[in-house]
Amino acid sequence: MNEEIIVIGGGGHAKVVLSTLIDLRMRVQGVYDDDPQKWGKECFGAKIVGSISGLDPLLEGNAIMAIGDNKIRHTVAKRFLKLHWASLIHPYAFVHPSASIGEGSVVFAGAVIQADVVIGGHCIVNSNATIDHDCVLGDYSHIGPGVCLAGGVSVGEGAFFGIGAVAIIGRDVGKWSIIGAGGVITVDIPDYVTAVGVPARVVKRHDEPTRPDVAMKSILV
Ligand SMILES: CC(C)(COP(=O)(O)OP(=O)(O)OC[C@H]1O[C@@H](n2cnc3c(N)ncnc32)[C@H](O)[C@@H]1OP(=O)(O)O)[C@@H](O)C(=O)NCCC(=O)NCCS
């Protein structure tokens, strides 16, 4: 792609997105972040030019979200009605031709996405994660670095897998649930919970109605 792209979010996660854009030889038009202390600074040659909240909701152009937090990505995606959300696949990722990847999703270096996987919109498949055949990832989900999903795992909207977590074949993880780093999913996990450990057990239940209504705030993840 030769067109310029707008990057939304200028924190740590943005470093990986920006380096992926460089490896894809894509040009960055500007980076936006709500933390004024970042304005004017550069990251890998891309300038942080202003706030996200100051952008026109009817802004047009190619864009990618560089925000690790699933709820904030959800909020931002609903705010901008006319942006074209690009999907990024690092050249060192493997994506089987039968897999599909939704708009706004990013696949980082070392990730492996096998046959007939379906990845929704605005998902993150982080470095070295492996997603085996027939998995389905809901919109806004984030599969952390080094996560291994066996075949046929279903990941609900907005669910998050911490670094190194594992799910055995065919398990379901509910929407907006959080799997702690290193957790091993051996049974289905319901919606809106945190599960940790080996095997993973539910340790927290979240308040469902507060889920997507995250204020636009400084994006530091
Ligand atoms: C699970 C996690 C999100 C913390 O959630 P939290 O709601 O803040 O949970 P808490 O820290 O209050 O921990 C709750 C309990 O789970 C335990 N716990 C937390 N994370 C755990 C983990 N990964 N494995 C095992 N136990 C864990 C805590 O020790 C605590 O146990 P206790 O009640 O007996 O003291 C976090 O620990 C984690 O694993 N994050 C992964 C981050 C990551 O991989 N990021 C990658 C970004 S690219």
Q: Could you write out the three-class secondary structure of 49-98?
A: EECCCCCCCCCCEEEEECCCCHHHHHHHHHHCCCEEECCEECCCCEECCC
**Residue 150 pLDDT grade (very low, low, confident, very high; cuts 50, 70, 90):** very high
Parse the chain into domains and list their residue ranges.
4-85, 88-203
Reported confidence tier of residue 208, pLDDT bands at 50, 70, 90: confident
Task: Please tell me the distance between residue 123's alpha carbon and the centre of ligand 1 in angstroms.
Answer: 21
**What is the pLDDT, as a whole number, of residue 164?**
98
Mean pLDDT for 43-60 is: 95
Any atom of ligand 1 within 6 Å of the Cβ of 9: no
Q: From atom 45 of ligand 1, which residue's Cα is the shortest distance away? A: 162
178 lines ligand 1 (CB under 6 A): yes
**pLDDT surpasses 70 at 185:** yes
User: Which pLDDT score, from 0 to 100, does residue 56 have?
Assistant: 95
pLDDT of residue 207: 83
Q: Pull the structure tokens for residue 139.
A: 């919109």
Confidence of residue 212 (pLDDT cuts 50, 70, 90): very low
- Give the residue carrying structure tokens 């996987």: 117
Asked whether 17 and 64 are in contact (CB, 8 A), the reply is yes
Inform me whether the pLDDT recorded for 129 exceeds 80. yes
**Would you please indicate which residues are annotated as catalytic (active-site) residues?**
133
- State the average pLDDT for the chain: 93
Q: What is the mean pLDDT of residues 190-206?
A: 97
Cα–Cα distances (Å) from 157 to 89, 94, 136, 202, in that order, read 20, 23, 10, 18
Which helix or strand (DSSP H or E) is residue 148 part of?
A: strand 148-149
* pLDDT tens, residue by residue, 17-49: 999 999 999 999 999 999 999 999 999 999 999
For the chain, give the percent of residues with pLDDT over 90. Answer: 92
pLDDT at 2: 58
Distance 53 CA to ligand 1 centre (A): 31
Q: Which residues contact 8 (CB under 8 A, 6 or more apart)?
A: 31, 32, 52, 63, 64, 65, 66, 67, 76
Reported as a pLDDT band with limits 50, 70 and 90, residue 3 is confident
Q: How far is the CA of 159 from the centre of ligand 1 (A)?
A: 15
CATH number of 4-85: 3.40.50.20
Residue 125: Cβ within 10 Å count: 31
Cβ–ligand 1 distance for 27 under 6 Å, the answer no
4-85 matches 88-203 in fold: no
Top CATH class, 88-203: mainly beta
